[in-house]
């Protein structure tokens, strides 16, 4: 889980609480698309359970697998760095759950909370850098050295807090958020 969950180390407890309050817990069956290549998504996702396969299609070529995303990882983060639609498709590899946070809610929070914005964009930068390095090396992503990055290793504790807060929430169907 440590590969990308370091975003939780960068966010304050109040940020995590806000994500849980505005987010919607969604359940997806195997093979269900979460993000489709070329189609904008209105959500930022945090994977709560399961796994997701990231694939890409080139015109006339067969679909190729880029990576597998696991619990704690972000999906849909690149659209916060540029305005282009997703460059890959993300599908559930097995029954999975995500926390879906509306882009409009995140945009509002980014404009009104400078501290959140700084922490959020730093986490996105680290996530994207790690994924790019893994893709260019053709290897799985390395686990980040959280101490070297100056982060407190509270990822697992914060992730478990999210899961406890969501326990009372009935998971919605992924079709409801699309």
Distance between CA atoms of residues 8 and 142, nearest Å: 17
114-153 tens-digit pLDDT = 999 999 888 888 777 877 777 777 655 555 554 545 444 4
- Total domains, the chain: 1
| Per-residue pLDDT, 60 | 66
In a domain, 137, yes or no: yes
In a domain, 177, yes or no: no
49-93 tens-digit pLDDT = 999 999 998 766 788 888 899 888 889 888 777 878 888 999 999
Query: If you average pLDDT over every residue of the chain, what do you get?
Result: 80
- pTM (2 d.p.): 0.78
In a domain, 2, yes or no: no
Nearest of 60, 61, 65, 57 to residue 37 by alpha carbon: 57
In a domain, 89, yes or no: yes
In a domain, 25, yes or no: yes
- Using CA atoms in the order 14, 20, 23, 24, what is the torsion angle rounded to 10 degrees? 180
Distance between CA atoms of residues 56 and 86, nearest Å: 10
87 lies in which domain range?
7-166
| Per-residue pLDDT, 4 | 45
| Strand ranges inside 16-170, DSSP E | 24-28, 33-35, 43-49, 51-56, 64-70, 74-75, 89-92, 96-102
CATH number of the domain bearing residue 45: 2.60.120.10
In a domain, 44, yes or no: yes
């Amino acid at each position: 889980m440590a590969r990308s969950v370091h975003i939780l180390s960068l966010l304050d407890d109040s940020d995590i609480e806000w994500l849980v309050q505005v987010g919607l817990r969604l359940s997806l069956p195997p093979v269900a698309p979460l993000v489709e290549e070329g189609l904008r998504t209105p959500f930022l996702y945090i994977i709560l359970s399961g796994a997701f396969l990231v694939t890409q299609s080139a015109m006339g070529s067969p679909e190729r697998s880029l990576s597998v995303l696991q619990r704690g990882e972000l999906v849909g983060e690149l659209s916060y760095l540029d305005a282009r639609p997703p460059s890959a498709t993300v599908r559930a590899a097995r029954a999975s759950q995500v926390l879906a946070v509306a882009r409009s809610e995140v945009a509002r929070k980014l404009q009104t909370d400078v501290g959140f914005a700084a922490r959020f964009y730093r986490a996105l930068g680290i996530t994207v850098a790690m994924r790019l390095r893994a893709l260019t090396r053709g290897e799985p992503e390395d686990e980040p050295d959280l101490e070297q990055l100056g982060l407190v290793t509270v990822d697992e504790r914060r992730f478990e807090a999210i899961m406890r807060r969501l326990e009372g929430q009935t998971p919605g169907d992924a079709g409801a958020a699309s």
